[in-house]
Amino acid sequence: MKVALIIENSQAAKASIVHEALTTVCEPLGHEVFHYGMYGPEDDASLTYIMNGILAGILINTKAADFIVSGCGTGMGSMLACNAMPNVVCGLVIDPTDAFLFGQINDGNAIAMPYAKGFGWAAELNLQDCYRKLFEVERGVGYPKERAAIMAKNRGILNEVKAVATQDMLTILKNIDQDLLKSAIAGEKFDEYFFANAEDGEIKDYIKSLKG
Protein backbone atom coordinates (compact mmCIF):
# COMPACT_ATOMS: atom_id res chain seq x y z
CA MET A 1 0.00 0.00 0.00
CA LYS A 2 1.20 3.53 -0.82
CA VAL A 3 0.56 5.73 2.21
CA ALA A 4 0.82 9.50 1.74
CA LEU A 5 1.54 11.77 4.70
CA ILE A 6 0.34 15.37 4.49
CA ILE A 7 0.75 17.92 7.31
CA GLU A 8 -0.46 21.52 7.26
CA ASN A 9 1.45 24.60 8.28
CA SER A 10 0.33 25.09 11.89
CA GLN A 11 1.64 21.63 12.82
CA ALA A 12 4.69 21.46 10.56
CA ALA A 13 7.06 21.54 13.53
CA LYS A 14 5.77 18.08 14.48
CA ALA A 15 6.27 16.60 10.99
CA SER A 16 9.30 14.50 11.92
CA ILE A 17 7.51 13.00 14.95
CA VAL A 18 4.49 12.03 12.87
CA HIS A 19 6.58 10.72 9.99
CA GLU A 20 8.71 8.56 12.27
CA ALA A 21 5.67 7.11 14.02
CA LEU A 22 4.03 6.30 10.68
CA THR A 23 7.09 4.68 9.12
CA THR A 24 7.77 2.70 12.33
CA VAL A 25 4.41 0.98 11.86
CA CYS A 26 4.00 0.90 8.08
CA GLU A 27 7.40 -0.14 6.75
CA PRO A 28 7.63 -3.48 8.64
CA LEU A 29 4.18 -4.30 7.21
CA GLY A 30 5.43 -3.72 3.66
CA HIS A 31 3.70 -0.38 3.12
CA GLU A 32 5.53 2.54 1.51
CA VAL A 33 5.26 5.97 3.12
CA PHE A 34 5.53 9.07 0.92
CA HIS A 35 5.89 12.29 2.89
CA TYR A 36 4.40 15.09 0.79
CA GLY A 37 5.14 17.76 3.39
CA MET A 38 5.22 19.95 5.17
CA TYR A 39 8.62 18.97 6.54
CA GLY A 40 9.12 21.90 8.89
CA PRO A 41 7.65 25.33 9.68
CA GLU A 42 10.17 27.13 7.48
CA ASP A 43 9.29 25.25 4.27
CA ASP A 44 8.89 27.45 1.20
CA ALA A 45 5.79 25.46 0.22
CA SER A 46 3.19 26.04 2.92
CA LEU A 47 0.09 23.82 3.13
CA THR A 48 -3.21 24.90 4.65
CA TYR A 49 -5.79 22.33 5.69
CA ILE A 50 -7.72 23.23 2.53
CA MET A 51 -4.68 22.35 0.43
CA ASN A 52 -4.42 19.09 2.36
CA GLY A 53 -7.82 18.15 0.96
CA ILE A 54 -6.96 19.15 -2.59
CA LEU A 55 -3.71 17.19 -2.44
CA ALA A 56 -5.51 14.17 -0.99
CA GLY A 57 -8.04 14.32 -3.82
CA ILE A 58 -5.30 14.41 -6.44
CA LEU A 59 -3.38 11.50 -4.92
CA ILE A 60 -6.38 9.22 -4.39
CA ASN A 61 -7.98 9.92 -7.77
CA THR A 62 -4.75 9.22 -9.67
CA LYS A 63 -3.86 6.22 -7.47
CA ALA A 64 -0.58 7.93 -6.61
CA ALA A 65 -1.55 6.95 -3.06
CA ASP A 66 -3.85 4.30 -1.63
CA PHE A 67 -4.26 5.89 1.79
CA ILE A 68 -3.86 9.42 3.13
CA VAL A 69 -2.66 10.29 6.63
CA SER A 70 -3.38 13.95 7.19
CA GLY A 71 -4.07 16.33 10.02
CA CYS A 72 -4.03 19.82 11.44
CA GLY A 73 -4.52 21.38 14.87
CA THR A 74 -7.85 19.70 15.63
CA GLY A 75 -7.95 17.37 12.64
CA MET A 76 -11.40 18.67 11.72
CA GLY A 77 -10.33 21.13 9.02
CA SER A 78 -8.33 18.50 7.17
CA MET A 79 -11.15 15.98 7.54
CA LEU A 80 -13.69 18.40 6.06
CA ALA A 81 -11.38 19.40 3.21
CA CYS A 82 -10.59 15.77 2.36
CA ASN A 83 -14.25 14.76 2.41
CA ALA A 84 -15.05 17.56 -0.03
CA MET A 85 -13.07 15.65 -2.68
CA PRO A 86 -14.56 12.85 -4.83
CA ASN A 87 -13.64 9.27 -3.86
CA VAL A 88 -11.96 10.39 -0.62
CA VAL A 89 -13.54 9.04 2.59
CA CYS A 90 -11.78 10.59 5.57
CA GLY A 91 -12.29 9.90 9.25
CA LEU A 92 -11.26 11.90 12.30
CA VAL A 93 -8.91 9.72 14.37
CA ILE A 94 -7.92 10.80 17.88
CA ASP A 95 -7.16 7.49 19.59
CA PRO A 96 -6.60 3.81 18.66
CA THR A 97 -10.28 2.96 19.13
CA ASP A 98 -11.22 5.61 16.54
CA ALA A 99 -8.63 4.13 14.17
CA PHE A 100 -9.88 0.57 14.64
CA LEU A 101 -13.57 1.40 14.26
CA PHE A 102 -13.00 3.65 11.25
CA GLY A 103 -11.07 0.87 9.53
CA GLN A 104 -13.58 -1.82 10.41
CA ILE A 105 -16.85 0.06 9.87
CA ASN A 106 -16.18 2.83 7.37
CA ASP A 107 -13.13 1.36 5.61
CA GLY A 108 -12.20 4.76 4.22
CA ASN A 109 -8.99 5.79 2.50
CA ALA A 110 -7.92 8.80 4.57
CA ILE A 111 -7.64 9.92 8.16
CA ALA A 112 -7.19 13.34 9.74
CA MET A 113 -5.55 13.61 13.16
CA PRO A 114 -5.28 16.41 15.74
CA TYR A 115 -1.65 17.35 16.18
CA ALA A 116 -2.27 20.23 18.61
CA LYS A 117 -5.29 19.26 20.71
CA GLY A 118 -4.25 16.68 23.30
CA PHE A 119 -0.82 16.20 21.72
CA GLY A 120 1.08 15.83 24.96
CA TRP A 121 3.19 13.29 26.82
CA ALA A 122 3.74 10.04 24.86
CA ALA A 123 1.95 11.48 21.84
CA GLU A 124 4.21 9.49 19.51
CA LEU A 125 3.05 6.26 21.20
CA ASN A 126 -0.58 7.19 20.61
CA LEU A 127 0.24 7.86 16.96
CA GLN A 128 1.89 4.46 16.57
CA ASP A 129 -1.01 2.69 18.29
CA CYS A 130 -3.48 4.46 15.98
CA TYR A 131 -1.52 3.47 12.89
CA ARG A 132 -1.31 -0.15 14.07
CA LYS A 133 -5.08 -0.31 14.48
CA LEU A 134 -5.38 0.92 10.90
CA PHE A 135 -2.68 -1.01 9.08
CA GLU A 136 -1.98 -4.20 11.02
CA VAL A 137 -5.46 -5.67 10.64
CA GLU A 138 -7.75 -6.37 7.72
CA ARG A 139 -10.03 -3.38 7.25
CA GLY A 140 -13.72 -3.43 6.41
CA VAL A 141 -14.41 -6.64 8.35
CA GLY A 142 -17.00 -4.89 10.49
CA TYR A 143 -17.48 -4.38 14.20
CA PRO A 144 -19.36 -6.00 15.74
CA LYS A 145 -18.95 -8.84 13.24
CA GLU A 146 -22.68 -9.58 13.09
CA ARG A 147 -23.26 -6.15 11.54
CA ALA A 148 -20.58 -6.53 8.86
CA ALA A 149 -23.03 -7.00 5.99
CA ILE A 150 -25.11 -3.91 6.73
CA MET A 151 -21.95 -1.87 7.25
CA ALA A 152 -20.62 -2.93 3.85
CA LYS A 153 -23.97 -2.05 2.27
CA ASN A 154 -23.95 1.39 3.88
CA ARG A 155 -20.39 2.06 2.67
CA GLY A 156 -21.56 1.35 -0.86
CA ILE A 157 -24.55 3.66 -0.47
CA LEU A 158 -22.32 6.44 0.89
CA ASN A 159 -19.98 6.09 -2.09
CA GLU A 160 -22.93 6.29 -4.49
CA VAL A 161 -24.28 9.39 -2.75
CA LYS A 162 -20.85 11.04 -2.83
CA ALA A 163 -20.45 10.28 -6.54
CA VAL A 164 -23.70 12.16 -7.19
CA ALA A 165 -22.91 14.98 -4.76
CA THR A 166 -19.41 15.79 -6.03
CA GLN A 167 -17.90 16.68 -9.37
CA ASP A 168 -15.14 14.59 -10.87
CA MET A 169 -11.60 15.48 -9.79
CA LEU A 170 -10.49 16.88 -13.14
CA THR A 171 -13.43 19.31 -13.22
CA ILE A 172 -12.62 20.39 -9.67
CA LEU A 173 -8.97 21.01 -10.54
CA LYS A 174 -9.89 23.10 -13.56
CA ASN A 175 -12.44 25.22 -11.68
CA ILE A 176 -10.82 25.93 -8.33
CA ASP A 177 -8.51 28.90 -7.87
CA GLN A 178 -5.43 27.97 -9.88
CA ASP A 179 -3.02 29.74 -7.55
CA LEU A 180 -4.44 27.71 -4.67
CA LEU A 181 -3.99 24.53 -6.67
CA LYS A 182 -0.43 25.41 -7.63
CA SER A 183 0.39 26.07 -3.98
CA ALA A 184 -1.05 22.67 -3.00
CA ILE A 185 1.30 20.87 -5.40
CA ALA A 186 4.38 23.01 -4.76
CA GLY A 187 5.91 20.73 -2.15
CA GLU A 188 9.59 19.85 -2.32
CA LYS A 189 9.00 16.19 -3.16
CA PHE A 190 5.65 16.40 -4.95
CA ASP A 191 7.07 15.98 -8.46
CA GLU A 192 9.32 13.10 -7.44
CA TYR A 193 6.57 11.13 -5.71
CA PHE A 194 3.53 12.04 -7.78
CA PHE A 195 4.82 11.53 -11.29
CA ALA A 196 6.45 8.23 -10.34
CA ASN A 197 3.27 6.80 -8.80
CA ALA A 198 0.24 8.45 -10.42
CA GLU A 199 -1.64 6.56 -13.11
CA ASP A 200 -1.43 8.09 -16.57
CA GLY A 201 -4.54 10.01 -17.51
CA GLU A 202 -6.18 13.41 -17.75
CA ILE A 203 -5.56 14.40 -14.13
CA LYS A 204 -1.87 13.60 -14.34
CA ASP A 205 -1.63 15.44 -17.66
CA TYR A 206 -3.36 18.50 -16.19
CA ILE A 207 -1.02 18.56 -13.20
CA LYS A 208 1.93 18.26 -15.59
CA SER A 209 0.65 21.22 -17.60
CA LEU A 210 0.49 23.33 -14.43
CA LYS A 211 4.07 22.43 -13.67
CA GLY A 212 5.10 23.69 -17.10
| Mean pLDDT, residues 42-65 taken together | 97
Give the range of the structural domain holding residue 163, as residue numbers without chain letter: 2-211
Average pLDDT, the chain: 96
User: Domain of 23: which CATH number?
Assistant: 3.40.1400.10
Q: What's the pLDDT at 145?
A: 87
* pTM as predicted: 0.95
Digit-coded pLDDT (tens) for 4-27: 999 999 999 999 999 999 999 999
Please tell me the predicted confidence (pLDDT) of residue 27.
Answer: 98
- As a whole number, mean pLDDT of residues 176-185 equals 97
Structural domains of the chain, count: 1
Q: Is the pLDDT of residue 126 over 90?
A: yes
Element (H, E) at 182: helix 178-184
Q: What is the pLDDT of residues 57-95, one digit of tens each?
A: 999 999 999 999 999 999 999 999 999 999 999 999 999
pLDDT digits (tens, 9 = 90+) for 132-171: 999 999 999 999 989 989 999 999 999 999 999 999 999 9
Confidence (pLDDT) at 134: 96
Mean pLDDT of 87-108: 97
**Cα atoms in the Cβ-side hemisphere of radius 13 Å centred on 43:** 25
> What integer is the mean pLDDT of 108-133?
96
Confidence of residue 199 (pLDDT cuts 50, 70, 90): very high
Give the 3-state secondary structure percentages of the chain, helix then strand then coil, rounded to 5.
Answer: 55, 10, 35
Nearest residue to 58 via CA among 161, 208, 207: 207
Name the pairing type of β-strands 67-72 and 110-114: parallel
pLDDT at residue 178 above 90? yes
Does residue 31 carry a pLDDT above 90?
Answer: yes
Residue 41 reports pLDDT greater than 90: yes
What was the pLDDT predicted at 212? 83
